[in-house]
Amino acid sequence: MFSGQRLKEIREAQGMSQASVAKHLGISRSSYFNWENGKTKPNQKNLSVLAELFGVAETYFLSEHEIVEVYLELNEENRREALRLTKALLEEQEAEKQKAPVVPLYSYKVFERLSAGTGYTYFGDGNYDEVFYDEELDHDFASWVFGDSMEPTYLNGEVVLIKQTGFDYDGAVYAVVCNNQTYIKRVYREEEGLRLVSINPKYKDIFITYDEDPRVVGIIVGNFMPLKEGRNG
């Protein structure tokens, strides 16, 4: 049911006069006055113009008491049925609100922290952190990143994914183990050893001789910031 009171409230809130609204609609002031007084109501065409003028949906002008008025006209049996249906619709509506888009999360076991700074002791005791990400990425094992020496590509606290390929080519980013420490660095093979180069220019190169027995575990094939973490082991 059309509510003249709601029409009056929004007109006054927007600082418009009855005369100006009537002029916009192309009707007499008295005709418009009757809408606000509830004596008559606008047709569908004028209702659409009002909604556009005030920037609201056409349903804005419906009386919130309309459903009560209709309900009171029902007999007792139909009132019970109307109440049952209304409650069912409300429950369905609330259930829809609770639903969230289901995004599949994939589990990754992160076994040790790799240094992206000056080196971090390698943990090979089998303990791992379980983290989750919304993509399933191919890898052999995963490790943590510590430090900022490989920023902006690899961030502190990210997970790096490693394929156990050994050394492939100069300049790629590898996981390297030496003297019980692990590193994530760009690796270059030189005559006397391996040169480990950071992406962050504030860090100096690290040179490890072959006599120190450096081991290239594998190439870094991906990285991500976990969406969710758990701890195991």
Segment 66-75 mean pLDDT: 78
pLDDT digits (tens, 9 = 90+) for 114-142: 544 545 444 444 567 899 999 999 998 88
Among 54-58, 61-65, 106-110, 216-220, name the one with the lowest average pLDDT: 61-65
Cβ atoms of 26 and 87 within 8 Å: the answer is: no
For residue 149, what pLDDT is reported?
Answer: 94
- d(CA 109, CA 112) in angstroms, rounded, equals 9
Q: Of how many residues is the chain composed?
A: 233
- d(CA 24, CA 229) in angstroms, rounded, equals 60
Centroid of chain to Cα 34:
50
Please return the burial class of 102, using the count of CB atoms within 10 Å of its CB with bins 0-12, 13-18 and 19+: exposed
48 φ, ψ (degrees, to nearest 5): -65, -40
Cβ atoms of 115 and 183 within 8 Å: the answer is: yes
pTM: 0.52
Question: Is the backbone of residue 147 left (phi > 0), alpha (psi -120 to 50) or beta?
Answer: left
Segment 94-106 mean pLDDT: 81
Cβ atoms of 225 and 157 within 8 Å: the answer is: yes
List, in order of start, the domains of the chain with CATH numbers. Answer: 4-98 (1.10.260.40), 106-232 (2.10.109.10)
pLDDT digits (tens, 9 = 90+) for 191-223: 999 999 999 999 999 999 999 999 898 999 999
Q: How confident is the model at residue 62 (pLDDT cuts 50, 70, 90)?
A: confident
